[in-house]
């Protein structure tokens, strides 16, 4: 959680810094740079340029011992446009970086920009946006930055990732390499748990060396501004390189070089089409999901109608048989008056059986109608919950596909599409969770874990949500530092607490939300208490039923939801060997509590 928050703050800072640099550059260019003087600076100049020998596809030394790669092609094209003569040298990254920082050479062929590096060298305008990614071996349990705490992480010395991790004091064990190909070989060979490096570079090595046991997990870690670094104070060279960069972008040579090394599509376009493909895939899954549900319900309805029809036919046949027997006995009664009492008893028994059958049929019919009403209400609520994120997805997908949005609008649109997609997946997970619980397919995975640490994670996750509604979120007593360990399914207990805390925040407008636990015999009792709207006593008996929702007064605001969250809580608690209960009063809040055995069998 801490790494995720740091990552979000860092990405926000980088975006703000990039926008500020671009805006400042345009202002300086518009108001302070004498364009006439820039045009007059046409005298040929020889500069020393150093390039690293192993950073493909950006820069490397090819088979002919010549500098090659995107950076070298680009700076050569710029040099031709602004009359620069380049004197190349190559070496290891740490060595050539020291050369430009000391002022021994004029420039390097590429470097990621950062606040710390701005103090040592001057940078040109951005060449491109270069992203870092988290690489793992296939089958690894690491899925995002949240999973690398305490892990062995491979980093290239001198890379911007190394600087960020050291400066920010991440809780990881760093394994240093001195080149990108060494990074790939060691991670592929089983050394370290994961690695952080430039996505383009490592992907290039993987494809070139046919390494197929590594993969990228999670989103991009950093979006870095990639520039030409120039020795500090050489503003004339910076201006000339910037002017040359503008020229090659306008005459199409930049696009040609970019396409040669990275392909025609830009990164955000690839991400856009990937998102659209995921949207289509999610929409198809939703259609299939509801189609299967519809088929299942139709099948169940036909089956029940068939059973009821067969039962009714059997009853009619039994009634006809009884009537025939009655007629036969009435005819026999004329002949044998002695059997009258016996016949009357049989008739009464037959009538009683028919009445019981009719009563059972009526009760079953009422129950089926009630279930259909609940499911219809659930479908209406689910349709409403699905419509909102799908509308957002369709609207912003259309804008991205056919419009020409600004970068900020594009980022906001992509963010809304991703959030809407996660919301749809969450709805599907809830419906599938109820289905698994009802069918008895839900699995329990036990582990020994700290209750205090779990409460700390819950507090950090829900604190921002509670703060948005001006609610106070607290953990009672010493639950955070209790030192209690429980042997049960941590994931399911967190899922139960998530549902209860989400409801507490949702139905509270002011006051405090409290969570905690206490030992009761050989069980641990968890609870969530709020100062919300409360639940009427006549509704509390139905609160844990699937698809059932609180029926609030018309004067109160409406609350969205599908009505299956508490049903999932009840099912999971019972699977863990415990029970759940409610204590609530209208207008004064509610308290949900559940007990879990310390050692689940």
Residue 5 lies in a domain: no
Is residue 502 within 8 Å of residue 592, measured between CB atoms?
no
Residue 252 lies in a domain: yes
pLDDT score at 1: 47
Q: What percent of the chain has pLDDT over 90?
A: 28
Which residues is 81 bridged to in the sheet? none
Q: What is the pLDDT of residues 441-470, one digit of tens each?
A: 677 888 898 888 999 999 999 999 899 999
Q: What is the pLDDT of residues 40-52, one digit of tens each?
A: 345 788 999 999 8
Per-residue confidence at 39, pLDDT binned at 50, 70, 90?
A: very low
Domain count of the chain?
4
**Residue 373, domain extent:** 275-436
Residue 140 has pLDDT above 70, yes or no: yes
Reduced to 3 states, what is the DSSP secondary structure of residue 583? strand
Taking the C-alpha atoms of residue 191 and residue 185, their distance in angstroms, rounded to an integer, is 9
Regarding whether 205 and 248 lie in a shared domain, the answer is no
Question: To 10 degrees, what angle do helices 253-262 and 70-82 make?
Answer: 170
Regarding whether 584 and 465 lie in a shared domain, the answer is yes
HSE of 247, CA atoms in CB hemisphere, 13 A:
17
119-to-9, 115, 116, 122, 154 alpha-carbon distances in Å: 22, 7, 6, 8, 27
Regarding whether 343 and 232 lie in a shared domain, the answer is no
Per-residue confidence at 366, pLDDT binned at 50, 70, 90?
A: low
The pLDDT mean for the chain works out to: 80
- Any idea which residue has 């998102």 for tokens? 275
Q: 337 CB contacts (<8 Å, ≥6 apart)?
A: none
The secondary structure of 29-73, three-state, reads HHHHCCHHHHHHCCCCEEEEEEEECEECCCEEECCCCCEECHHHH
Residue 361 lies in a domain: yes
Residue 591 lies in a domain: yes
Strands, E assignment, 442-509: 447-450, 472-475, 485-488
pLDDT score at 175: 94
Regarding whether 423 and 309 lie in a shared domain, the answer is yes
Regarding whether 240 and 209 lie in a shared domain, the answer is no
Per-residue confidence at 5, pLDDT binned at 50, 70, 90?
A: very low
Q: What is the pLDDT of residues 80-116, one digit of tens each?
A: 999 999 998 888 888 888 998 999 999 998 998 888 8
Q: Lowest-confidence range among 237-241, 349-353, 497-501?
A: 349-353
Q: 480 CB contacts (<8 Å, ≥6 apart)?
A: 452, 455, 456, 459
Average pLDDT for 541-570: 69
Token pair recorded at residue 514: 């409290």
pLDDT score at 265: 42
Regarding whether 310 and 164 lie in a shared domain, the answer is no
Regarding whether 480 and 583 lie in a shared domain, the answer is yes
Per-residue confidence at 558, pLDDT binned at 50, 70, 90?
A: low
Regarding whether 195 and 325 lie in a shared domain, the answer is no
Per-residue confidence at 399, pLDDT binned at 50, 70, 90?
A: low
Residue 1 lies in a domain: no
Regarding whether 136 and 123 lie in a shared domain, the answer is no
pLDDT score at 376: 54
Regarding whether 364 and 463 lie in a shared domain, the answer is no
The verdict on whether omega for the bond into residue 57 sits within 30 degrees of 0, i.e. cis, is yes
pLDDT score at 440: 64
Domain end marker among 411, 436, 461: 436
Regarding whether 432 and 344 lie in a shared domain, the answer is yes
pLDDT score at 6: 47
Average pLDDT for 331-360: 71
Tell me the CATH number at 83: 3.40.190.10
- Any idea which residue has 């007990």 for tokens? 595
Residue 307 has pLDDT above 70, yes or no: yes
Longest dimension (CA), the chain: 138
Residue 441 lies in a domain: no
Nearest to 82 by CA among 245, 249, 226: 245
Q: What percent of the chain has pLDDT over 70?
A: 73
Q: What is the pLDDT of residues 492-520, one digit of tens each?
A: 899 999 999 998 998 898 899 999 998 88
Q: Lowest-confidence range among 34-43, 119-128, 518-527?
A: 34-43
Q: What size, in residues, is the chain?
A: 601
Between 234 and 433, residue with greater pLDDT: 234
Residue 515 lies in a domain: yes
Taking the C-alpha atoms of residue 2 and residue 24, their distance in angstroms, rounded to an integer, is 33
Q: Lowest-confidence range among 156-165, 180-189, 547-556?
A: 547-556
Between 299 and 246, residue with greater pLDDT: 246
Domain end marker among 408, 436, 464: 436
Residue 281 has pLDDT above 90, yes or no: no
Per-residue confidence at 33, pLDDT binned at 50, 70, 90?
A: very low
Reduced to 3 states, what is the DSSP secondary structure of residue 126? coil
User: Which among 273-282, 467-476, 537-546, 561-570 has the top mean pLDDT?
Assistant: 467-476
Regarding whether 201 and 79 lie in a shared domain, the answer is no
Residue 354 lies in a domain: yes
Q: Lowest-confidence range among 393-397, 402-406, 478-482, 558-562?
A: 558-562
- Any idea which residue has 């036969």 for tokens? 328
């Amino acid at each position: 959680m801490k790494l995720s928050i740091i990552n979000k703050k860092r990405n926000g800072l980088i975006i703000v810094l990039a926008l500020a640099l671009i805006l400042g550059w345009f202002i300086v260019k518009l108001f302070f740079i004498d364009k006439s003087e820039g045009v007059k600076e046409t005298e040929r100049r020889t500069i020393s340029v150093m390039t690293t020998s192993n950073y493909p596809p950006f820069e490397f030394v090819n088979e002919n011992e010549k500098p090659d790669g995107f950076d070298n092609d680009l700076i050569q094209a710029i040099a031709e446009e602004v009359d620069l003569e380049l004197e190349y040298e190559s070496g290891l990254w740490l060595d050539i970086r020291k050369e430009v920082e000391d002022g021994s050479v004029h420039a390097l062929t590429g470097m990621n920009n950062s606040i710390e590096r701005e103090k040592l060298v001057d940078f040109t305008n951005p060449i491109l946006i270069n992203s870092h990614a988290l690489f793992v071996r296939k089958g690894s349990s690491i899925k995002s930055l949240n999973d690398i705490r305490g892990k062995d992480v491979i980093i290239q010395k001198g890379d911007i990732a190394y600087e960020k991790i050291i400066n920010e004091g991440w809780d990881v064990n760093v394994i240093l390499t001195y080149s990108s190909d060494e990074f790939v070989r060691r991670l592929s060979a089983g050394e370290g748990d994961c690695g952080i490096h430039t996505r383009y570079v490592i992907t290039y090595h993987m494809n070139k060396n046919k390494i197929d046991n590594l993969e990228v997990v999670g989103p991009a870690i950093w979006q870095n501004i990639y520039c030409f670094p120039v020795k500090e104070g050489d503003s004339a060279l910076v201006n000339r390189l910037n002017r040359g960069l503008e020229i090659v972008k306008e005459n199409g040579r930049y696009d040609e070089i970019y396409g040669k090394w990275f392909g025609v599509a830009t990164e955000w376009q690839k991400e856009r089409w990937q998102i659209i493909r995921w949207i289509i895939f999610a929409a198809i899954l939703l259609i299939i999901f509801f189609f299967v549900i519809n088929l299942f319900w139709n099948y169940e309805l036909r089956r029940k109608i068939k059973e009821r029809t067969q039962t009714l036919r059997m009853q009619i046949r039994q009634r006809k048989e009884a009537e025939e027997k009655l007629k036969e006995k009435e005819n026999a009664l004329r002949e044998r008056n002695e059997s009258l009492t016996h016949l009357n008893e049989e008739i009464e028994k037959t009538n009683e059986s028919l009445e019981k059958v009719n009563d059972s049929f009526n009760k079953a019919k009422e129950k089926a109608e009630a279930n259909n009403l609940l499911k219809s209400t659930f479908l209406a609520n689910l349709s409403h919950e699905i419509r909102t994120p799908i509308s957002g997805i369709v609207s912003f997908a259309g804008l991205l596909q056919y419009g020409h949005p600004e970068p900020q609008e594009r980022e906001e649109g992509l963010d809304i599409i991703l959030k809407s997609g996660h919301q749809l997946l969450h709805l599907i997970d809830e419906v599938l969770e109820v289905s698994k619980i009802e069918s008895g397919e839900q699995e329990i995975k036990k582990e020994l874990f700290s209750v205090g640490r779990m409460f700390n994670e819950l507090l950090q996750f829900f604190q921002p949500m509670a703060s948005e509604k001006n609610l106070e979120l607290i953990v009672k007593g010493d639950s955070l530092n209790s030192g209690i360990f429980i042997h049960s399914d941590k994931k399911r207990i967190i899922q139960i607490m998530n549902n209860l805390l989400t409801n507490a925040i949702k139905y509270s407008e002011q006051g405090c939300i409290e969570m905690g636990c206490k030992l009761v015999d050989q069980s641990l009792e968890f609870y969530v208490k709020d100062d919300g709207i409360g639940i009427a006593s006549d509704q509390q008996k139905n609160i844990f039923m699937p698809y059932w929702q609180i029926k609030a007064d018309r004067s109160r605001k409406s609350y969205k939801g599908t009505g299956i969250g508490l049903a999932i809580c009840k099912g999971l608690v019972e699977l863990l060997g415990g029970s759940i209960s409610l204590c609530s009063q209208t207008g004064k809040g509610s308290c949900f509590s559940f007990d879990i055995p310390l050692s689940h069998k």
